[in-house]
Structure 1
């Protein structure tokens, strides 16, 4: 059986989404469709209180900010890209993030966007792609900015287990998991590994593929992204089973960044076994509360997206709010 045709099953929960939660999301989506101007997540204006570890992170972030200002005035990145996740509601919040993405692009263009799942709510229906994808990001798409998607848990419910989205050309998915390389200058080349982190994924085959592809890669930078977090202090929290599958591979192959969504907000961790884990799920869906963990470097529950500036010896990350302001930044070096 080809992995693109892998069937999903229904039990007490729908693909990891509790039935009650699915109905709530469906109700929100229907409400939004009927009256977009009235759609406003209750938590959107209630940022989470910062933990002690987050307060420390503000100091570190300021140091990084000073270093970045120097870099930006003296050196252009070899590659720049952006990232979003949990965006596909067609809501006012998604439109605000999309507007901020466009305004940032006009100031400092980026080549493409990683889209880490839950691309279309509530059940991934491809018939909603125009309203929930093509219209919000129309200015970027007109500039030929490509989006590279992975499947979130909402994307596999009513889409032939995600096949509809895989076949949707603007998502640029060659399969359930795939790899691609970007960067015209050798030192700034990044190989991206897009993976399927859903519970019904063909994990045995996928893990063998990921191990082989990471082994074969000659790129100086390797970035893995999927929908679900290994570590998070948001509503869904950390996933020890997923961490057991992936973290040994990341450590073995010295992967500097794992990027995901699923928990709706932003959380950056201090490196764990050399890998910086980033939850970037503030693309437009209703926000969750985050409490912070001992390994948390910075956490904030707000709608946002990210940009990444790739240099020979570092990657500078920025988390950017809907007002266009950078609220977290970090310098990531090779493992």
Structure 2
């Protein structure tokens, strides 16, 4: 018997969500505190994320008519097949129509609840169908939910639309040398091959000649959300990031949005509002902006800066920042 489907409109097309999945989502959502935390009144939602004090003290415009050398988007904790995931996907599509981006980083928990690849059509292909039709690529990493019933993640690695060449991998984007970005995708699960992965990361970052270096994985080093900061993960990764001047670490796991002021030259962003039920967030002394709402991000890459935008389901930008290059 075919499952009845709830229908949602994206870009004029009707897209189905299984009723069973929606009911499960609703039950989980009601069991969680979804309080939204906004920044303190004195805090500006726009700021400079930089380790260069000269840049940070100057007034730098966050809006420019100059076309970026590269534009990409990012999501995480999205694979629920929920109405909220479809709302984020709709906003992503509408943003793409206005300002196209080349690809999407997907920072884990790609398929809830256990990573089953049989759900990829309902939880990935259908929500992002308009983007996939435009050949927008998604580059995924494994979240903790993705390894439970997926042959320890192997099914997702072998699923071509996720573009994972391995459990951890790197790739470059950008045709202009000054705007080239090298991305380093990590498996941050506790059962990852950490010794081999850390050696690889250290060596790959050392060899990289890209002007911009961005690392992404599922778990946060620092977070004020439900799961919180992970000192063990920070001890493994933060020294490598500082050593090789990694500009940005992007993750999910905590369902909401939190951007930190640059720590030893690296900006850390939790971007977990892709569709799974939201978590309650607090804040820390290093927090630049925090808001628990369904959202995604875009990044405009220039020779001297990256402009980041966090975008809600209504298409409005609720946080902007500039990441500038660290002075050697």
TM-score range, shorter chain: 0.7 to 0.9
C-alpha offsets along residues 294-325 of structure 1, whole Å, 9 cap, x if unaligned? 00000000000000000000000000000000
C-alpha deviation, 1:47, in angstroms: 1.2
1:264 paired residue among 239, 255, 258: 255
1:58 paired residue among 45, 51, 54: 45
Residue 294 (structure 1) aligns with? 285
Residue 8 (structure 2) aligns with? none
Stretches of structure 2 that go unaligned for 5 or more consecutive residues are: 1-16, 49-55
Q: What does 1:202-217 align with in structure 2 at a 5 Å threshold?
A: 202-217=193-208
In 1: Cα distance, 2:160 partner to 2:252 partner? 22
Q: Secondary structure at the match of 1:87?
A: coil
**2:21–2:80: 8 Å Cα contact kept in structure 1?**
no
Residue 273 (structure 2) aligns with? 282
Residue 24 (structure 1) aligns with? none
Equivalenced residue count is 301
Q: Indicate yes or no: 2:112 matched with 1:121.
A: yes
| CA shift in 2, pair 1:304/1:216, >3 Å | same
Q: Indicate yes or no: 2:144 matched with 1:156.
A: no
Q: Indicate yes or no: 2:188 matched with 1:182.
A: no
Residue 243 (structure 2) aligns with? 252
1:166 paired residue among 157, 164, 167: 157
C-alpha deviation, 1:33, in angstroms: 2.3
In 1: Cα distance, 2:23 partner to 2:221 partner? 36
RMSD (Å) for aligned C-alpha atoms:
2.2
In 2: Cα distance, 1:104 partner to 1:150 partner? 23
Q: Indicate yes or no: 2:212 matched with 1:221.
A: yes
| CA shift in 2, pair 1:209/1:296, >3 Å | same
C-alpha deviation, 1:40, in angstroms: 8.1
Residue 137 (structure 2) aligns with? 146
In 2: Cα distance, 1:103 partner to 1:65 partner? 30
C-alpha deviation, 1:48, in angstroms: 1.8
C-alpha deviation, 1:178, in angstroms: 0.2
C-alpha offsets along residues 190-224 of structure 1, whole Å, 9 cap, x if unaligned? 00000000000010000000000001111100000
Stretches of structure 1 that go unaligned for 5 or more consecutive residues are: 1-28
| CA shift in 2, pair 1:117/1:65, >3 Å | farther
Residue 7 (structure 1) aligns with? none
In 2: Cα distance, 1:209 partner to 1:125 partner? 28
C-alpha deviation, 1:58, in angstroms: 3.0
Residue 33 (structure 1) aligns with? 21
| CA shift in 2, pair 1:34/1:282, >3 Å | closer
In 2: Cα distance, 1:258 partner to 1:49 partner? 22
Q: Secondary structure at the match of 1:41?
A: helix
State the TM-score, normalized to the length of structure 2.
0.87
Which has a greater percent of strand? 2
Q: Indicate yes or no: 2:303 matched with 1:312.
A: yes
1:273 paired residue among 261, 264, 277: 264
**1:39–1:91: 8 Å Cα contact kept in structure 2?**
no
C-alpha offsets along residues 172-197 of structure 1, whole Å, 9 cap, x if unaligned? 00000000000011111000000000
In 2: Cα distance, 1:36 partner to 1:249 partner? 40
In 1: Cα distance, 2:59 partner to 2:316 partner? 13
C-alpha deviation, 1:31, in angstroms: 7.4
List structure 1 segments (4+ residues) > 6 angstroms apart after TM superposition.
Answer: 63-66
**1:177–1:193: 8 Å Cα contact kept in structure 2?**
yes
In 2: Cα distance, 1:76 partner to 1:124 partner? 38
State the TM-score, normalized to the length of structure 1.
0.85
C-alpha offsets along residues 41-81 of structure 1, whole Å, 9 cap, x if unaligned? 3468631253x4x74243648x9998122x1x2x1000000
In 1: Cα distance, 2:160 partner to 2:185 partner? 16
Which has a greater percent of helix? 1
